[in-house]
Chains A and B, each alone.
Chain A
């Protein structure tokens, strides 16, 4: 089962004794802070986990895959994630099939 914000909040209750509402709000603002930083064009470096970077893409020619019609893909700004060495190593060790 996928990890959700509710499960993260539950863990904060269990491990730190935060009340349910506090924990839920905390997880909410945690991701909101990340979004605010990226929205302001500021990349994020979370040591042990990874970096979120901003990339400015130039306009390039594209195609509507259904109609074959040529349409330009406009210049845009996107977020990329690069996992840190520590996370990479932990994940690499995973040998099973992905759920």
Chain B
């Protein structure tokens, strides 16, 4: 599913909203999430999952083309942990209740 498909699906379920508002809403939600993470804040959505930042230590990397060593500074990377409901709904090996 792409962002435009998500917008279409949501538009079908929210017939009282016009397409422009659905499109804007999706963009606002994603931008809100990106903003929070870039400020170092977690996102917690019960049943879906949580997003947080993981610290990455500084390390010496290599340019794969030239083999040259490159110093990489420490940084943060986004991390997603699926919530219980999502895990259970996705894992088809769990029998449905």
Binding site for B on A (CB under 8 A): 1-5, 7-8, 11-12, 15-16, 18, 22, 25-27, 29-31, 33-35, 37-39, 41-50, 52, 54, 74-81, 83, 86-88, 90-94, 96-99
A99 touches B1 (CB 8 A): no
A2 touches B10 (CB 8 A): no
B77 touches A91 (CB 8 A): yes
With contact pairs A8-B32, A22-B17, A81-B80 given, residues A42 and B1 touching in the complex (Cβ less than 8 Å): yes
Within 8 A of A (CB), among B37-52: 37-52
Binding site for A on B (CB under 8 A): 1-3, 6, 9-10, 13-14, 16-17, 21, 24-26, 28-30, 32-34, 36-53, 55, 75-80, 82, 85-87, 89-94
A44 touches B6 (CB 8 A): yes
Q: Of A42, A83, A86, which is within 8 A of B77 by CB? A: A83
Residue of B nearest to A9 (CB): B29
Residue of A nearest to B42 (CB): A2
Query: What residues of chain B lie closer than 8 Å to A43, measured between beta carbons?
Result: 1
Which among A31, A37, A96 has the greatest number of chain B C-beta atoms within 10 A?
Answer: A31
B38 touches A76 (CB 8 A): no
A26 touches B47 (CB 8 A): no
